[in-house]
Structure 1
Amino acid sequence: MGPATSEFVRATPPPYGGGVVSAVGYRSRGQTPGLHRGLPSPYLTLIFSLDGPVVTGATPDQAAGPGAARTEIVVGGLHQSPAYVVRPEHEAGIQLALHPLAARALLGLPAAELTGRLVTDGTDVLGRAAADVREQLCAADTWGERFARLNAYLARRAADGSGAVRPEVAEAWAWLARRRGAGTLPGLAAHVALSERRLTALFRAETGVTPKQAARLMRFQHAKGRAARAFAAGAPLDLARVAADSGYYDHSHLVRDFRQYTGLSPSAWLAEECRNIQAGGHRDGED
């Protein structure tokens, strides 16, 4: 076996405008087989594997056992705990982070319909045409060609799509995103001129999570990105500063969210993801 290699290529800009938050092509060879933690985020996941099925489970044992999900096109909704992904000796694919409010246009259903399942086979959501697109991506010679084919495919889906997101829900999401998850539910409800109960019901029906859960995911995403960038730059990890800059009450508040969303402390997660972070694989819509 030769030396381990990892390649991450970001599409700049991402395919299909604001509906796709980020698109990353990845290819690894010679890596030690193991498990990777797929962390919760405020985005949906769409993966086209270019090298065998993606194998996932809700627990390490499930991922390594006969109950694992195996699919070459992965669609994942918003979730509140890590997913465990088998890391083989070699892998390749394109991973997209989709805005939840673009799910109707790009996937043909609201993001809420993806909740309750760790992952969904992409052909069950996108139809058999997605398998044809995957074959085209596998046959393409360059990442640029793959991203262009994917952009054309998503544009076709959006042109055929139907169903609008309620403006109150769209504005509620934008309000939370502008504040990186800060703000209160009463303040948010007043901003969109709905009762807290009505807003929560509409928001959950569209996205699969409540406004409070979405805010926590946004806050965690920002904190995780700051910690990963500092680690990649070789800077000392100042969790108190990361917590304060990300809208947490204090350091212990940040640690509690890290433990829920990763199953680890911040420092333990950074140590586990060391090689992935240094290669740039942690980026998921973060600047």
Structure 2
Amino acid sequence: MGVALWDVARPAGPGRLAGATMAGFRDRGVTPAGLRLVPPPAITLALVFGAGTVAVADASGRQHRGSIVAGLGFGASRVRQAAGFECVQVRLSPVVAGAVLGIRPGELDGAMVALDDLWGREAGRLGERLSELSSWRQRFSLTDAVLARRAETGPPVDPEVVWAWRRLAGTRGRVRIEHLAAEVGWSRKRLWSRFRVQAGSPPKRVAKLVRFDHAVHRLVAGQDPARVAAEGGYADQSYLHREVREFTGATPAHVAAEPFLAVDDVAWPERS
């Protein structure tokens, strides 16, 4: 993978909020402009702190600086500028994200927004507190406490939506939506509506994102694209190619080589 772009830290164990995972990044000064960000099947919260800077361009070309929230399946996005930044990245399950963020995930509609726009002054105060701490352990502990506190007062999620999300994740996106609706006792239309608002995207698109995530990690691990497509539920390899382009704007070969995935313990478990 060449020169490592970041120093990476991970918590020693799970946090208090189920459905939230964290990692810490410290830029080594070699993050290239144009680095592609590959969307996970989660809502991403990037808490940027310290004296460094980072700017990210979303799928529409709009640039964001500082701490951001990236909606589910945020699309082709790139780092446009990076200089010595530090960041706590939080990946939130769609069914807990609304409680933490204070808005329904459907309001994000897959877009990137500044954390200031959602949390107001609390976002700035959190960045200042993270800057004052001297270790990743302390930063993870602070972030964990903030997530748990906010989750206590956020909007609830229908148990049917939680069930549907777990089924989509557990089957790697390979369950038919009409079957999901039947399992929870809802019409397909009702499931589509509630899931889109409470989880952030319609269930069919979430199924595609979960399937894409599993496939792209297999590609990064060096597996044959034809086999990945056949075993991942794709009609053929060209269908896999189209979905990778849909979520990233790149070919499977380009995405598999992106150094951003080198910090992912699913893609590279030996580096955990």
TM-score by length of 1: 0.84
Counterpart residue type for residue 94 of structure 2: P
Aligned to 2:27: 28
Equivalent residue, structure 2, for 1:101: 95
Q: Does 1:137 align with 2:119?
A: no
2:11 alignment counterpart: 11
2:192: which partner in 1? Answer: 200
Distance change in 2, residues 1:162/1:149 (3 Å): closer
Give the distance between the partners of 1:6 and 1:286, measured in 2 at CA: 15
Q: How far apart are residue 32 of structure 1 and its match?
A: 5.3
Cα offset for 1:164? 1.4
Q: Which residues in structure 2 correspond to 1:256-267 (within 5 Å)?
A: 256-267=242-253
Equivalent residue in structure 1 for 2:216, among 221, 224, 243: 224
Aligned partners of 2:98, 2:136: CA distance in 1, in Å?
A: 27
CA gap 1:34/1:162 in 2 versus in 1, 3 angstroms: closer
d(CA) in 2 for partners of 1:76, 1:284: 20
CA separation of 1:286/1:215 partners in 2, compared to 1, >3 Å: closer, same or farther?
Answer: farther
Alignment of 1:210-249 (within 5 A): 210-228=202-220, 230-231=221-222, 237-249=223-235
Shift of 1:254: 1.2
Q: 2:54·2:82 contact (CA, 8 Å) conserved in 1? A: no
**1:16: how far off?**
3.1
Equivalent pair of 2:6/2:27 in contact (CA under 8 Å): yes
2:119 pairs with 1:126: yes
Query: Contact between 1:14 and 1:23, CA under 8 Å: does it hold in 2?
Result: no
Contact 1:4 1:30 survives alignment (8 Å)? no
Question: Does 2:255 match 1:269?
Answer: yes
Where do 5+ consecutive residues of structure 1 fail to align? 232-236
2:230 aligns to what SS in structure 1? helix
Structure 2: 5+ residue stretches without partners: none
Identity %: 36
Residue type at the aligned position of 2:99: A
Relative to structure 1, is the Cα distance of residues 285 and 100 closer, same or farther in structure 2, using a 3 angstrom cutoff?
farther
- Superposed CA deviations along residues 75-102 of structure 1, whole A, max 9, x for unmatched, are 1111352122224243221111111111
Give CA deviations for 1:216-244 in whole Å, capped at 9, x if unaligned. 0000111112222x14xxxxx41122223
| Alpha-carbon separation, structure 2, partners of 1:143 and 1:244 | 41
Write the deviation string for residues 52-82 of structure 1: whole angstroms up to 9, x where unpaired. Answer: 444222359x3xxxx5222x22111113521
| Structure 1 counterpart of 2:58 | 58
State the partner residue of 1:39.
Answer: 38
Q: How far has the Cα of 1:4 moved from its partner?
A: 6.8
Query: Conserved in 2, the CA contact under 8 Å of 1:100 and 1:207?
Result: yes
